[in-house]
């Protein structure tokens, strides 16, 4: 989940799609919402989804509707500066480097578990 503030639905949706590396066509397949309709949601504040489509999009992206609308979640208020910095740096990475970071973290976590036993 990307943490943003002061942005509307279209900006938060675009940001989350970019963060997760999901194309509009894929989101359309995941939600059953036409690509044309999703394109309209992304075009700016003029076209907002109804509740049903907002919920479908949020579920497909594994984020809250609140996040898509406001850019904030209850949990985002509880993140420390260190976590926010990590998220920001992670968001700046390309998909290959994001996977590399996740693989490295998994390796370190597994090794840490073995060493602590």
DSSP sequence for 16-83: HHHHHT--HHHHHHHH---HHHHHHHHT-TT----HHHHHHHHHHHTS-HHHHHHS--TGGGG--HHH
Rounded CA gap, 108 and 115, in Å?
A: 10
Convert the pLDDT of each residue in 11-52 to its tens digit.
Answer: 899 989 988 889 999 999 999 999 999 999 998 777 889 999
Q: How confident is the model at residue 110 (pLDDT cuts 50, 70, 90)?
A: confident
CA distance 34 to 101: 34
Examine the pLDDT at 5 and tell me if it is beyond 50: no
> pLDDT by residue (tens digit) across 61-89?
989 898 888 887 665 455 677 877 888 88
**62: nearest Cα among 95, 30, 28:** 30
């Amino acid at each position: 989940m990307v943490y943003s503030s002061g942005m509307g639905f279209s900006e938060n949706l675009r940001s989350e799609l970019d963060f997760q590396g999901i194309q509009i066509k894929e989101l359309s397949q995941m939600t059953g919402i036409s690509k044309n309709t999703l394109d309209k949601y992304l075009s700016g504040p003029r076209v907002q989804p109804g509740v049903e489509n907002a919920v479908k999009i949020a579920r497909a992206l594994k984020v809250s509707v609140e996040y898509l609308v406001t850019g904030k979640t209850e949990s985002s208020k509880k993140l420390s500066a260190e976590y926010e910095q990590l998220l920001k740096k992670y968001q700046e990475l390309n998909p290959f480097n994001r996977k590399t970071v996740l693989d490295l973290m998994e390796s370190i976590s597994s090794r840490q578990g073995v060493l602590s036993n």
